[in-house]
Chains A and B, each alone.
Chain A
Amino acid sequence: DAGVIQSPRHEVTEMGQEVTLRCKPISGHDYLFWYRQTMMRGLELLIYFNNNVPIDDSGMPEDRFSAKMPNASFSTLKIQPSEPRDSAVYFCASRQSGTGDNSPLHFGNGTRLTVT
Chain B
Amino acid sequence: AQSVTQLGSHVSVSEGALVLLRCNYSSSVPPYLFWYVQYPNQGLQLLLKYTSAATLVKGINGFEAEFKKSETSFHLTKPSAHMSDAAEYFCAVGRGGGYNKLIFGAGTRLAVHP
Contact = CB atoms under 8 A, between A and B. Distances in A.
Contacts of B44: 43, 91, 93, 105, 107
B46 A104 contact: yes
Interface in A85-100: 91, 93, 95, 99
A109 interface: yes
A34 interface: no
B114 interface: no
Interface of A: 4, 31, 33, 42-43, 45, 48, 55-56, 91, 93, 95, 99, 103-110
The residue in A33, A43, A106 that gathers the most chain B C-beta atoms within 10 A of its C-beta is A43
Which of A48, A95, A107 has the most B CB atoms < 10 Å from its CB? Answer: A107
A86 B106 CA distance: 19
Given A43-B104, A48-B100, A56-B101, A104 B34 contact: yes
A5 to B, nearest CB: 11
Contact of B43 (A55, A104, A108): A108
B107 interface: yes
12 contacts: A42-B105, A43-B90, A43-B104, A45-B102, A48-B100, A93-B44, A104-B49, A106-B46, A107-B43, A109-B42, A110-B41, A110-B42
B: contact size bracket: 10 to 19
B104 A42 contact: yes
A42 B51 contact: no
3 pairs of A and B residues whose beta carbons are closest in the complex: A107-B43, A43-B104, A107-B44
Given A31-B100, A105-B46, A109-B43, 19 more contacts: A4-B43, A42-B104, A43-B44, A43-B90, A48-B101, A93-B44, A95-B100, A99-B51, A99-B99, A104-B46, A104-B99, A105-B44, A105-B102, A106-B46, A107-B36, A107-B43, A107-B44, A107-B45, A108-B43
